[in-house]
Chains A and B, each alone.
Chain A
Amino acid sequence: MKAVYRQIGFKAGFLAPAVGIFVVFFIYPILQTLHVSLYRWGGLSPDMDWVGLDNFRNLLFHDPIFWKAVSNNLFFLIVFPIITLVLSLFFASVFARRFRGSTLLSSVYFFPALISWVAISILWSFIYHPSIGILNSLLAGIGLEGLARTWLADPAVVLGAVAAPLIWRNVGFYMVMFVAAIRNIPPEYHESALIDGASRWTIFRHITLPLIWEVVSVAVVFMVVNAFLAFDLVWIMTQGGPSRHSEILTTYFYRKAFIEFQMGYATAMAVLLFIGVLTVSLLLRRFMQRETVEY
């Protein structure tokens, strides 16, 4: 009897801080968000006007910028994970076999992942800068002057330009993760395949990849969520410009909430954003889980 009581006390005591903080600072605000999204609210005065589902209706049917933001997010969603995945898997496969300098190089590749987004955004803004930046003068230097652009203000390339630092920062990070996963594979698998005369690519495609699939799928989900958010990067580099060409849901949300003071409308967008992230993540996990191979 006494043991059971002690257990309850212990369990409650151990759970309380986490549950307490979580409920107060996480669950409660989120529920409030659902509440606020049904109102029109300027955020400053306590007056809130009930509008029911109007905010959602306006967002989905009357707001071209919302859909522009969605399509921009989709661009990131597709481009960023694919390129990052390809690059990080490629480098992981190269680095998994230790060679001289591989540890040093992987540290170098990894390093950008530690730098604050704000710093990276500022740095890359300067790289892209029309007069001060190195990218355009670099292109001119190697004779590709025709490719020079006003990277962050040209609607045709701005999305790609913003995606570049996103990729730059993350390739090393995921590469290290994959290297560890690859090294975890018992060497016999590779060795016997090599003995059988399989090519590097075949080995990778049919042995390595399936065996690290679990890790890869987790990584992809992270990448996808990252691609949805990316607020700091876009906000500091372009604020969603020029003319909303690089607007994504999180920057549009911020603009609506804190620059145009439409809190209700903005929170409705946040709700939709959440639904989007959730749906995509769940679909991805479902899709990727089928491929897992146990060993």
Chain B
Amino acid sequence: MKPRSVGDAVRLLFVGFYTLIVLGPLVWLVVTSFKTSAEIYGSPWTLPARMQWDNYVRAWFEANIGQYLFNSIFVTAVSISLIVIIAAMAAYVLVRYPFRGSRIILVAFVSGLMVPVQIALVPLHDLLRTLGLLDSYWGLIPVYIAFSLPFTVFLLSGYFSTLPRDLEQAAIIDGCSHAQVFWRVMLPVSKPAVMTALIFNFLGIWNEFILALIILASDELKTLPLGLADLQVVMRYQVDWGALFAGLVIAIVPIFIGYIFLQEQVTEGATMGALKG
């Protein structure tokens, strides 16, 4: 883009500068992940004398990053699938088949958006304890679903209400049951909103920390954020900064790869949130 004026040049400068700010920390992270702890202590700028792939090995095995990664993938995939389906079903009924009280239910869901997680932490934990669901995905996933419902119901109900009724009418005339209308007509047509819901929920759950922290305890079950926090503490005691940086890179790489492949959907999804929100 050739600057056509002073204004443009200034804009270009800003863009360049900010690009450095975004990329800088990430590049530094990767470079540092290949240094020894002594090198890291010595100077932040030097390049590693040799690539310490060892750091990655330690991060993977000693810190169990592989296990945590898999756990996160599992928990997130299951959660977001269930969330979207369950929320879509509810949103559909509330928007298309209103009855007395349906408005209240919808408001109840949506006002959940204002509720911070902290407020329910203690009793939630107690509830799970009573139900015997602590330290298990049977406890974690329903909680994730419950806390994602407000946003997802809000998003989907908003979207559904903009769709023309003729779609359903046509399907009903064709002999579909209400449920079939939902699965065969509404959902497919709502793909953009569904994608948005999936993406937003993915981000929310993939990064979720405090609920997982309180609910999960066994190492085999821990998700990636918990694992990283653990890694920070462990590597700090061993003064193994190299492995810590390597662990961070390992945690970021899958997202990076996923992003490269799904970039369009992700940005589209984010923008859907903007336009229909």
Q: Which residues of A contact B (CB under 8 A)?
A: 6-7, 10-11, 13-15, 17-19, 21-22, 24-30, 32-33, 35-36, 43, 87, 90-91, 94, 99-101, 105-119, 122-124, 126-127, 131-134, 137, 141, 168, 171-173, 176-181, 184, 200, 214-215, 218-219, 225, 228-229, 231-232, 236, 250, 253-254, 257, 263, 266-267, 270-271, 273-274, 277-278, 281
Kindly supply a per-residue 1/0 record for chain B positions 210-221, scoring 1 wherever the CB is within 8 Å of any chain A CB and 0 otherwise: 100000000000
The answer to whether A236 and B90 touch (CB under 8 A), given A26-B112, A176-B271, is no
Q: What are 28 A-B pairs at a CB distance below 8 A?
A: A17-B86, A17-B90, A18-B86, A21-B145, A25-B127, A25-B146, A26-B149, A28-B127, A29-B120, A30-B120, A36-B122, A94-B15, A105-B15, A108-B22, A119-B248, A119-B251, A127-B25, A127-B28, A137-B43, A168-B22, A173-B270, A177-B270, A177-B273, A178-B274, A225-B114, A271-B119, A274-B116, A281-B114
Most buried by A among B14, B15, B251: B15
Within 8 A of A (CB), among B101-150: 105, 108-109, 112-124, 126-127, 142-143, 145-147, 149
A107 & B225 in contact (Cβ 8 Å cutoff): no
- Point out the residues of chain A lying under 8 angstroms from B18, CB to CB: 87, 91, 109, 171
Are the C-beta atoms of B149 and A21 separated by less than 8 Å? yes
Residue of A7, A18, A108 ringed by the most chain B CB atoms within 10 A: A18
Which residues of B are in contact with A by a Cβ distance under 8 Å? 1, 7, 11, 14-15, 18-19, 21-26, 28-29, 32, 40-41, 43-45, 86-87, 89-90, 92-94, 97, 99, 105, 108-109, 112-124, 126-127, 142-143, 145-147, 149, 153, 177-179, 182, 203, 206-207, 209-210, 224-225, 228-229, 232, 241, 244-245, 248, 251-252, 255-256, 259, 263, 266-267, 270-271, 273-275, 277
Contacts of A127 in B (CB 8 A): 25, 28
List of B residues within 8 angstroms of A278 by Cβ:
114
Q: B256: nearest residue on chain A (CB-CB)?
A: A111
The answer to whether residues A107 and B252 also contact, given A25-B146, A33-B120 and a CB cut-off of 8 A, is: no
A116 touches B225 (CB 8 A): yes
Contacts of B21 in A (CB 8 A): 168
Q: Which 7 A-B pairs have the closest CB atoms?
A: A180-B271, A32-B123, A18-B90, A25-B146, A99-B1, A29-B120, A177-B274
From known contacts A90-B14, A118-B209, A132-B241, infer whether A29 and B124 are also in contact, taking CB-CB under 8 Å: yes
**CB atoms of B93 and A15 under 8 A apart:** yes
Q: Are A107 and B118 in contact (CB under 8 A)?
A: no
Interface on chain B toward A: helix, strand, loop, or mixed SS?
helix
A250:B116 contact, CB within 8 angstroms:
yes
B118→A15 contact, CB < 8 A: no
Bound complex: CA of A99 vs CA of B259, how far in Å?
Answer: 21
Instruction: Decide if B271 touches A181 in the complex (CB within 8 Å).
Output: yes
* Cα distance A13–B97 in the bound complex, in angstroms: 13
Write the nearest CB–CB distance from A243 to chain B, whole angstroms.
Answer: 21
Instruction: Evaluate contact between B229 and A118: CB separation under 8 angstroms.
Output: yes
User: Are B275 and A116 in contact (CB-based, < 8 A)?
Assistant: no
Least CB distance from A57 to B in Å reads 19
Question: In the bound complex, do residue B275 and residue A215 qualify as a contact, i.e. CB atoms below 8 Å apart?
Answer: yes
Q: Please, which residues of chain B bring their CB within 8 A of the CB of A137?
A: 43-45
Contact A177 B99 (CB under 8 A): no
Cβ-defined partner of A108 (8 Å) among B1, B19, B45, B271: B19
Interchain CB contact under 8 A, B203 and A113: yes
Taking the closest CB of chain B, its distance from the CB of A61, in whole angstroms, is: 22
A229 to B208, CA, bound (A): 13
Chain A residue nearest to B202 in the complex (CB): A114
